[in-house]
Structure 1
Amino acid sequence: MKVSIIGATGYTGSELLRILFSHPEVEIANITSESQTGGNITDAYPHLAGCYDKKLTSMKDLSQFTDSQAVFIGLPHGHAMSIGKQLADQGIKVIDLGADYRFRDESVYEAWYKVPHTHLNSGAVYGLTELYREQIRAASIVGNAGCYTTASILALAPLAKYHLIDMKNIVVDAKSGVSGAGRGLSLNTHFTEMSENLKAYNIGGHRHTPEIEQALQELAGQEAIISFTPHLIPMARGILSTCYATLKEGVTPEAIDQAFYEMYGQEYFIRLLGRGGYPATKHTRGSNFCDLGWHIDTRTNRVVVVSAIDNLVKGAAGQAVQNFNVMFGLNETSGLKQVALYP
């Protein structure tokens, strides 16, 4: 089937092209870039030479998408909702890799992203496949989950679903490779600023905070409050999220084990390293896997869950393809069986 990518010259756009090249059911129809319109994708990403020889068009010409069954949108927040509505009105399925369709309550989006939401009541489904698979199957618009959020929600979901933790006392400490900041130039992500450096940012104010809380609240059926601190680390890709939660009275280590295996035991892309496991970003690099390990700290009565993903794959493009597969009734692993790059 034919698919198009809006915003193909961002990191997630290039990852989509890399993944979809090996997808047995997909043909790339159109790819767009407002900054490099008329150029070839291989000029922006020489590693795609021999795989694609396609000119970049402007997304302003919506007629080019009429023969696409699905369109992936890789634009900054605030830019997808208008074009998403127009595409959906034409019967084209939309997978938005930005934030515009992630929230049930548009007022939460507007409060955190500081722009008005113009496509109210779109019926969009949150795109974290393992948790919302059945809703995604029937969706016309999917708001792909964010990278920090994917790692953190998957780590905490079993604990919330089975009511094993205090939902108002959760701490998430997450570290991301610099590609999570995008391809644009910035002093904060300059090589000499990041090399041999590690720094926190947006403490208490990162926009992925309400996204994590939204999913956990739905699972637990009660309010969730998290303290989220993101960090930048001097590597290109990968996220390691370490999540801390206070156990409810009487919860045993065996109950924690059972919750993870009941929820994820049959999930292809979630690898359970078990109690005592230590996920590492290098073990998921370039793949769509999420590795989970958990530890019980009896001294503090806390459970500590560690999650590792590739922010550009399971945290973005890979998950988008996983959602695409579900939306069209394809094998969920189609195009996504890449083994992690190691070392």
Structure 2
Amino acid sequence: MAHRIIILGASGYTGAELVRLIALHPQMEIVALSADRKAGLEMRDVFPHLSHLSLPVLKKIDDIDLADADLVFCALPHATSQAVIHKLPDHVKVVDLSADFRINDPEVYSKWYGKPHDAPDLQKIAVYGLTEFYRAEISKARLVAGTGCNAATGQFALRPLISAGVIDLDQIIIDLKTGVSGAGRSAKENLLHAELSEGFHAYAVGGQHRHLAEFDQEFSALAGRPVTVQFTPHLMPANRGILATVYVQGAADAIYNALEAAYAGEPFVQLLPMGTHPSTRHIRGSNFCHIGVVEDRIPGRVIVLAALDNLTKGSSGQAVQNANLMLGCDETTALMMPPVFP
């Protein structure tokens, strides 16, 4: 019998991506979909690319019996998830795609998100959802906190290097480019086509981006001492994709070997041959992350590049990967589709 799935926030980009992926899943059945302003509409009215699917009508959250689910994907805005998840029955497993449960320390959460956490009891039990590094914990978890898409990309490039001790921890620069869908679907003037196309700009410059909280938390825990990275994100005029160019100091062979050892046998993380580098066009619409290592002309400096699709491996694909573990399904189920090219 299929696991009964509810998607809250189905009218956003990550909600639609969840539907796209779960439509291919032989062990999951979507029994309810929520939306706020679009409640009462058919999913095909909101996302015509899903017209071929037979899906429940979008409803307000209050009109859905949340107890009638084995697992809930919560694709709601930050701070909204806390109140909704807090009311769920204990038997319902949850994968939260917002930032509400990513940060372990309530004070750190309050600093970065501007308000106290409203469900600190749940914050204590949430498991960080970077699947390849928290697999055992995720498989036993009731609540999994999906990572930030930028945070995931940087961590795929850096976690094995920090663990192996092959780079200078005080000399890490993450220069990251992300597609516009990472900003969500709500109307924003700066995301209009005329405002965004034919241009390219940095944002949250100088350590203002909230995903820095995840880098600080995860890298410091790995190193056993504080690790502070320099991180500058850029918005590129593309719908999907993230490319992180990470500058580190160390020996190229040792860095490559550490990544090779960490990702041997991983179905979704692919290390490219030494000297080659990834592109967002080669991971579009997939759950794959491609990593490349290039030795810089300056001795002792190395460039590590990571590319993934922010809506799939960076968010909804990661969420399904985690749900597979939580429900006892094969981790790769419904996620081995090849990238879309061109």
| Superposition TM-score, scaled by structure 2 size | 0.96
Q: Choose the corresponding residue for 2:62, options 60, 63, 81.
A: 60
Contact persistence 2:31–2:56 (CA under 8 A): no
Matches within 5 A, 1:195-210: 195-203=197-205, 204-210=207-213
Q: Tell me the residue number matched to 1:190.
A: 192
**Which residue type is aligned with residue 293 of structure 1?**
G
Contact persistence 1:168–1:223 (CA under 8 A): no
Q: Deviations over 1:166-209 (max 9, x none)?
A: 22221111111111111111111110111111000011200111
Matches within 5 A, 1:211-250: 211-247=214-250
Contact persistence 1:297–1:303 (CA under 8 A): yes
Moved more, 284-293 or 237-246: 237-246
Moved more, 233-242 or 113-122: 113-122
Query: In 2 relative to 1, CA 61–116 (structure 1 residues): closer, same or farther, beyond 3 Å?
Result: farther
Moved more, 142-151 or 291-300: 291-300
Q: Tell me the residue number matched to 1:296.
A: 295
Contact persistence 1:274–1:292 (CA under 8 A): no
Matches within 5 A, 1:149-188: 149-188=151-190
Verify: 1:332 aligned to 2:331, yes or no: yes
SS in structure 1 opposite 2:87? helix
Q: Deviations over 1:138-189 (max 9, x none)?
A: 1100000111111110001111111112222211111111111111111111
Moved more, 219-228 or 148-157: 219-228
Distance (Å, rounded) in 2 between the aligned partners of 1:91 and 1:115: 29
Distance (Å, rounded) in 2 between the aligned partners of 1:258 and 1:297: 17
Q: Tell me the residue number matched to 2:275.
A: 276
Distance (Å, rounded) in 2 between the aligned partners of 1:175 and 1:97: 21
Contact persistence 2:180–2:236 (CA under 8 A): yes
Once the two structures are TM-superposed, the CA of residue 223 in structure 1 deviates from its matched residue by: 1.2
Q: Deviations over 1:19-67 (max 9, x none)?
A: 00000100001000011111111110011112134211111245x1212
**Which residue type is aligned with residue 86 of structure 2?**
K
Q: Deviations over 1:52-84 (max 9, x none)?
A: 34211111245x121210000011110111111
Q: Deviations over 1:78-108 (max 9, x none)?
A: 0111111221x43100100000010111211
Q: Deviations over 1:116-155 (max 9, x none)?
A: 1011132000000001101111110000011111111000
Q: Tell me the residue number matched to 1:84.
A: 85
Moved more, 160-169 or 126-135: 160-169
Q: Which runs of 5+ in 2 are unaligned?
A: none
Distance (Å, rounded) in 2 between the aligned partners of 1:146 and 1:12: 12
Contact persistence 1:2–1:29 (CA under 8 A): yes
Contact persistence 2:127–2:143 (CA under 8 A): yes
Verify: 1:125 aligned to 2:122, yes or no: no
**What is the aligned length?**
337
Once the two structures are TM-superposed, the CA of residue 300 in structure 1 deviates from its matched residue by: 5.1
Distance (Å, rounded) in 2 between the aligned partners of 1:295 and 1:232: 24
**Which residue type is aligned with residue 18 of structure 1?**
R
Q: Tell me the residue number matched to 1:257.
A: 256
Query: In 2 relative to 1, CA 163–197 (structure 1 residues): closer, same or farther, beyond 3 Å?
Result: same
Once the two structures are TM-superposed, the CA of residue 298 in structure 1 deviates from its matched residue by: 5.4
| Superposition TM-score, scaled by structure 1 size | 0.96
When the two chains are superposed, the root-mean-square deviation of aligned CA atoms in Å is 1.2
**Which residue type is aligned with residue 49 of structure 2?**
H
**Which residue type is aligned with residue 166 of structure 2?**
L
Distance (Å, rounded) in 1 between the aligned partners of 2:171 and 2:54: 49
Q: Percent of pairs identical after alignment?
A: 42
SS in structure 2 opposite 1:166? coil
Q: Tell me the residue number matched to 2:39.
A: 37
Distance (Å, rounded) in 1 between the aligned partners of 2:203 and 2:196: 13
Matches within 5 A, 1:88-99: 89-99=89-99
Distance (Å, rounded) in 2 between the aligned partners of 1:117 and 1:195: 37
